[in-house]
Amino acid sequence: MRERQPCVYILASGRNGTLYIGVTSNLIGRLIQHRDGTFAGFTGRYGVQRLVWYDVADTMEAAIATEKRLKKWPRQYKLNVIERENPFWEDLAISLSLPPL
């Protein structure tokens, strides 16, 4: 993955736990911020740090549109998206060369 690549991502606190949907142009950098608690907020408060799904987009506008669409979906649809590509809810950040949580 390139350092700068628009993408939308889903973090989870556990299998079927709290979900967070975000968008960034630097997924690895953003994951490090979530893990380090750089910004106070939702992910820190709920311990949402494990990357369970992401999708690379051609443009930031496309990534933002996907993020908005996902946020409107019912929870079960989001779970289906995750489980279709990551049925065991593995931390995909490891495949991006980040250490395990």
**Cα dist from 40 to 33, 63, 65, 97, 98, whole Å:** 10, 23, 25, 25, 21
Enclosing domain of residue 83: 7-96
Residue 1 lies in a domain: no
- Min mean pLDDT across 4-8, 14-18, 43-47 is at 14-18
pTM of the model: 0.93
Residue 68 lies in a domain: yes
pLDDT value at 1 more than 60:
no
> Mean pLDDT across the stretch 7-15?
92
The pLDDT of residue 95 is: 94
Relative to beta strand 50-56, strand 7-12 is antiparallel
Residue 35 lies in a domain: yes
Q: Locate the DSSP E strands across 2-101.
A: 7-12, 19-24, 50-56
Which domain CATH number covers 39?
A: 3.40.1440.10
Cβ-based neighbour number of residue 80 at 10 Å: 11
Residue 83 lies in a domain: yes
Residue 2 lies in a domain: no
Residue 101 lies in a domain: no
Quote the number of domains for the chain: 1
